Amino acid sequence: MTGNTKAGSDWAYPAELSPTASASLEFIANLGAGLPPLSEVDAETAQRLVNPLSARYSQTMLKGLATIIQAQLPLPGGTMDVHVFDAAPGTPQPLFIFIHGGGWVLLHPDCFDHVCEDIAVKLGCKVISLDYPLAPQAPCPKPLDACVEAVRYLKAHGMPGLAIEGPTWVGGDSAGANLSLGTLLRLKGDAASPDAGVLFYGVFDNDHSTRSHQVYGDGRFNLSTADMDWFWHYYTGGVSAEALADARLIDADLAGLPPLFLAAAELDPLRDDTPALADRLETAGVQHELHLIPGALHGCINFANFYPEVEETYAAIARFLR
């Protein structure tokens, strides 16, 4: 294990917000002013209110550094829409398959276009962002099934007009990190398996008694434990034990996975999920790097303009992948 941290169990729990985190939190509060807490609305209402707001924000943050096109993948389970990012048209580059966050319930690729543009530029790769089906309309494991199909297709066929050369990576944030790890587990030992994974502040367990939930889960730090209860309810409520195992990945058989870069946000109720996963990867003999984004809230890659630490994280990812 390498990175800019000690073992996750040694990470401190600062009582005060950093100036950058405070500014980011104020901006997020202003952006979502008037929105009710998730616990007060159903999933369909939350999708109607949150998705357009997040998409509009993402479009304002684009720098115009990548060509972005919308395309479709013809998959066995039905057509999947994707967003394709190319910051170096005609130049062969590795492929990063991005799986967005949103608690398996909210958001779409257009809410993460600015993030994918950053990844394409900072990691020197093509990016394809998946519009997988969301819960509750598609509960666990249907989103994971669709992501696995998409990765299989892209590994076999690529994307017309996109100059792909070298390794394929898969990654995402929050629930997207969960789906990325689930995809790697499904494809372990398969020719379609990506060559590495990048997991930003992932959710890997439904245990909300961890110290990070106790310290950061009361709603003061953007994401709350109550929010995570709401997401888990809509994603896994009523599913079989077998399906739940496709979401609760902390106890999965991790041996044989490709290298993984794990990034945790410091002021995040999900923070302890990441070092817990790192501990299990260490035991399983999987190459990995554990990285802390200091002073950062959950969702910080969406608000990277507030965090120079996110730039440093991308630099660390680039070193790890190459």
Cis-peptide into 141, omega within 30 deg = yes
Contact 128, 67 (CB under 8 A): no
Residues 308/279, Cβ–Cβ less than 8 Å: no
Structure tokens at 318: 């680039």
Amino acid making up residue 128: I
Over residues 173-217, the pLDDT tens digits come to 999 999 999 999 999 999 999 999 999 999 999 999 999 999 999
pLDDT at 204: 98
Q: Express each pLDDT in 28-47 by its tens digit.
A: 999 999 999 999 999 999 99
**Whether residue 3 has pLDDT greater than 60:** no
For residue 189, how many other CB atoms are within 10 A of its CB?
A: 7
pTM of the model: 0.96
Query: Yes or no: is domain 21-321 CATH 3.40.50.2000?
Result: no
pLDDT, residue 9, reads 58
Beta bridge partners of 126: 95
Active site residues: 174, 268, 298
**Phi-psi bin for 107: left (phi > 0), alpha (psi -120 to 50), beta?**
left
Of the chain, the percentage scoring pLDDT greater than 90 comes to 94
- Confidence band (pLDDT; 50, 70, 90) for 18? confident
Domain parsing of the chain, residue ranges: 21-321
